[in-house]
Amino acid sequence: MATTSTTKPIKCRAAVSRAGGEPLQIEEVVVAPPQAYEVRIKIICTSLCHSDVTFWRMKEGPMAVHPIIFGHEAVGTIESVGEHVDEFKVGDLVVPTFLAQCNECIDCASERSNMCSKLVFQIGHAMPRCGTTRFADAKGEPVNHFLCVSSFSEYTVVDVAHVTKVDPAISPEKACLLSCGVTTGVGAAWKVAGVETGSTVAIFGLGSVGLAVAEGCRLRGASRIIGIDLNPDKFELGKKFGVTEFVNPSELGERSVSEVIIEMTKGGANYCFECIGLASVMNDAFKSSRKGLGKTIVLGVEMHGAPLCLESYDILNGKCVMGSLFGGIKAKNDIPTLVNKYLNKELELEKFITHEVGFNEINKAFDLLHEGKSLRCVIWMDK
């Protein structure tokens, strides 16, 4: 059990990654008190995102940093606050997010951007303002942070720009989902694409983010939501999120995906979402969009670093490509809105939770995701 104090370091459990691709180790760590513009959060539950797995697998290169505490999709309560923190008080229910909102820079003031220019997004391994860590292991050696959150720990320290207060009426496991994946997909449909009633949509990749896109498009009144995935089991699952039709690229013979989508939609989809992270699929999505008004929204990070090559003629014909980091969401503004959508029984968050485990079983969550058996596995700290 963790020992707590609002003025002293806390000893608690954390799931530490010591080497790329190896099981996380439940260890005792020391979590320092929050410094200026920081809060210390007691994590209630966290969940596993594909981004955690991607970086956990890395065995070499500048991003393969160890020891490290992964996790960036979570919910918790404020345990203590540092100097100059007026926005939060002890006991507040909050969700931490990997993308900052300082509410001071020109970009945070703009309705067109969610990319804070004061605390710039980066795959950092320390606190964003000072570059130091708040974690140490039992030997006193520093342990690295991940995406400014590090939620695979009973307690974590997060910059106030990366924390959003939420209505305590929402259950923790549902609030947890709004910290990253579901918000990214729903936001891409609402804020980046601006899907309208009656629209035709094609979603490339029906993982948790792709299904969150479908959920967002369903809520916006899209008339046709076409899911594209190699796994035939995803069609039945996709129906729960509003997917109306399904295309399996492996069953098309000599025909391309774009040819099939253009034929199905009589000219192309109004909105195409790429949720996989392959340049070839991004190109397929772009080709599947409608001339004159088609929008292709890229949510996946190209996993091999390949460039995206497009025909300039298609762009002159009115097609466009848009990037979508965190679904265009400004956490402090928009996550409370999503909470209200859930509490009003519009946003159906429970559909995303397929498994729940205790913290000691955290490696089981990795196995379930690797085997393709889970969308979101909620990891409870006290179960």
| pLDDT tens track for 130-172 | 999 999 999 999 999 999 999 999 999 999 999 999 999 999 9
Residue 7 has pLDDT above 90, yes or no: no
- pLDDT tens-digit readout, 53-105: 999 999 988 889 999 999 999 999 999 999 999 999 999 999 999 999 999 99
**Whole-number average pLDDT of the chain:** 96
**Residue 190 DSSP symbol:** I
For tokens 């190109």, the residue is: 283
Q: How much is the pTM?
A: 0.94
* Token pair in block for residue 27: 């260890």
Buried/exposed code over 84-97 (b: 16+ C-beta within 10 A; e: otherwise) = ebebbeeebbbbbb
Residue 51 has pLDDT above 80, yes or no: yes
**Structure confidence at residue 5 (pLDDT):** 47
Q: What percent of the chain has pLDDT over 90?
A: 93
**Structure confidence at residue 126 (pLDDT):** 97
- Please give the average per-residue pLDDT across 260-282, as a whole number: 97
**Residue 359 DSSP symbol:** G
Closest CA to 101 of 55, 165, 49: 165
For tokens 């109004």, the residue is: 270
**Structure confidence at residue 302 (pLDDT):** 85
- Please give the average per-residue pLDDT across 40-48, as a whole number: 98
- pLDDT tens-digit readout, 235-252: 999 999 999 999 999 999
Is the bond into 67 cis (omega within 30 degrees of 0)?
yes
Element (H, E) at 283: helix 279-288
DSSP secondary structure string for all residues of 8-34: S-EEEEEEEB-STTSPPEEEEEEEPPP
Residue 367 has pLDDT above 70, yes or no: yes
- pLDDT tens-digit readout, 312-337: 999 999 999 999 999 999 999 999 99
Distance between CA atoms of residues 156 and 133, nearest Å:
11
Residue 2 has pLDDT above 80, yes or no: no
The answer to whether 165 touches 94, Cβ cutoff 8 Å, is yes
245-247/295-298 β-pairing? unpaired
- Please give the average per-residue pLDDT across 36-42, as a whole number: 98
Q: What are the angstrom distances between the C-alpha of 120 and each of 102, 126, 170? A: 10, 13, 30
Beta bridge partners of 17: 68
Closest CA to 210 of 179, 162, 246, 174: 246
Residue 1 has pLDDT above 60, yes or no: no
Closest CA to 326 of 188, 189, 159, 173: 188
- Please give the average per-residue pLDDT across 117-131, as a whole number: 95
**Structure confidence at residue 264 (pLDDT):** 98
